[in-house]
Chains A and B, each alone.
Chain A
């Protein structure tokens, strides 16, 4: 996965056209005008869709969308391809499920614990992985995530092959029961939107500027005096925190945390979502998560063909839509989404 080659072709292509000077308009929360409109539409959809579509399906989409956005923070804005993000998603899921089931924690505390688990694990594994670059980084994250997988397979608290089942949905602040789908939906929607805005803020912060510099040209960032490893580690930890939160939220929605959540195919899925939606675009991962989850849900009757279809889409995407759905469509209208 070479970010720099993608970057170079983009530039070559762009250089052929008349150089467009895009003035940075006075922006709201770092959103450009188009992005602000797109965000408003997204909020509207998040609010309206549960009246039309099955809320549990939508919650699954929102959990995966947050997971994909967290992954995109690394690949899209730091240029780090993590092939082990399932470890953080899955561990968050296990911890939230376990603490709700055995300690009877309220939902928000359990989700935060899931996030902290992702953060702690991300800090340790990230510290090991960022010492290498490019493909080696991806391979190390994959190897470390596999270690987490086998830990989860053996550790007694995860329930091994059975996972943690029949997790109650608990309540919000110990007051509001979340058993009804529509009750927990608003919590999930809030977590997703808060996570989305948080990532957007990180990308458009002084820290985010340095991240982009590292993505574009790491040696140059170093020569300007930035200790790039520190920035990468913080970004990695932030991403893992959000992945843990997404995993914990998902565990609550479905009342279950299993090995599927820490399996490497989950890491692959989030790569697919982000790539399909458009990496380095803020809405891409959301669209990607929607498409992939919808395929899994509505094509489930075809069994193994879902995976085949996904594989085919992945290949088509890499061959013809390098920028993903949002990147490509945005490109047609010259919009930065």
Chain B
């Protein structure tokens, strides 16, 4: 087991003389939940954007399932099975929850360039979309415009949409950011349920979420990896405590 699914070597991103991510070598093992934590400005989101190809690295390589994906486009990476979520909730606000999920399921048809066909052909995905919405607890909101959902439910909808692609690996950018306690619990339960057969790499601020959920934790500060290991190891590392929690906690 535990083969490497995603691997970066010497991954670097510079912005006008500022090095946001510096020579990061990360290995994510298949089937694990891997967390990326670190204080604000540590380069987590930059790193994340490079993995999903929304940002080109200055140097370094990214390999996914043994294949070099460094020069691919975002949509290509998504089709290979590496799908990301966004820090700000990314839904299609004027479309219903069902339509949101269906847009991901629609990917199974290949490219939807058929502008002459009725959208009735998409009905075949409705059952699967309803099932996914049920899985994330949104059954009541199937016909509601996504823009009207609460913040937590938007995140749930976003996860349902991402799941609809049945990705081998999911990149979750702060899945619980800005959520109420109940919503956080719901999302954690959800992530536990969907982890079968998948690899998840998540950026997370909330340490209690990371504690119960993640197999491996990588701590990033100032663009570099500071420590790596399971929660017990990492949380006892004095350097991590100093960098992440501030020296007064040490």
Chain A residues at the B interface, C-beta cutoff of 8 Å: 7, 10-11, 14-15, 19, 21-24, 29-30, 201-202, 204-210, 212-213, 216-217, 219-228, 230-231, 234, 238
B1: interface (CB < 8 Å): no
Complex CA distance for A206 and B216, rounded to whole angstroms: 41
Does A205 lie within 8 Å of B116, measured CB to CB?
Answer: yes
Chain B residues with CB below 8 A from A206, complex form? 106, 109, 112, 114, 117, 119, 121-122
Residue from A205, A207, A212 within 8 A of B94 (CB atoms): A212
- Are A213 and B86 closer than 8 Å at their CB atoms? no
B52, B91, B94 pick with most chain A CB within 10 angstroms: B94
**B104 interface residue (CB < 8 Å to A):** yes
A-B interface contact total, Cβ < 8 Å: 128
In Å, the complex CA distance between A10 and B102 comes to 23
Contacting pair B112 A210 (CB below 8 A): yes
- A225-B164 Cα distance, complex, nearest whole Å: 12
Q: State whether the Cβ of B135 lies closer than 8 Å to any Cβ in chain A.
A: no
**CB distance B91 to A220 under 8 Å?**
yes
A10 to B148, CA, bound (A): 10
Whether A223 lies near B90 (C-beta < 8 A) is yes
Q: Tell me the count of chain B residues lying within 8 A, CB to CB, of chain A.
A: 43
Known: A204-B118, A206-B106, A212-B92. 18 other contacts (CB 8 A): A11-B147, A11-B148, A14-B145, A204-B119, A209-B95, A209-B103, A209-B112, A210-B112, A213-B92, A217-B92, A219-B54, A220-B90, A220-B91, A221-B92, A223-B52, A225-B75, A226-B75, A231-B113
Known: A206-B109, A219-B54. A224 touches B78 (CB 8 A): yes
Q: Main SS of the interface on chain A?
A: helix
**B15 located at the interface, meaning its Cβ lies under 8 Å from any Cβ of chain A in the complex:** no
Task: Tell whether, in the assembled complex, residue B143 and residue A224 are in contact, meaning their CB atoms are under 8 Å apart.
Answer: no
Are A205 and B118 in contact (CB-based, < 8 A)? yes
C-alpha spacing A209/B161, complex, angstroms: 15
Task: Say yes or no: B103 contacts A213, CB within 8 Å.
Answer: yes
B90 touches A209 (CB 8 A): no
Contact B95 A216 (CB under 8 A): yes
Residues of A within 8 A of B119 (CB): 30, 204-206, 208-209
- Closest chain A residue to B52 by CB distance? A223
A212 to B93, CA, bound (A): 10
A14-B147, A225-B165 in contact; A205/B99 too (CB < 8 A)?
no
Complex CA distance for A52 and B103, rounded to whole angstroms: 47
Asked whether, in the complex, the Cβ of B165 is within 8 Å of the Cβ of A224, the reply is yes
Residues of A within 8 A of B121 (CB): 206
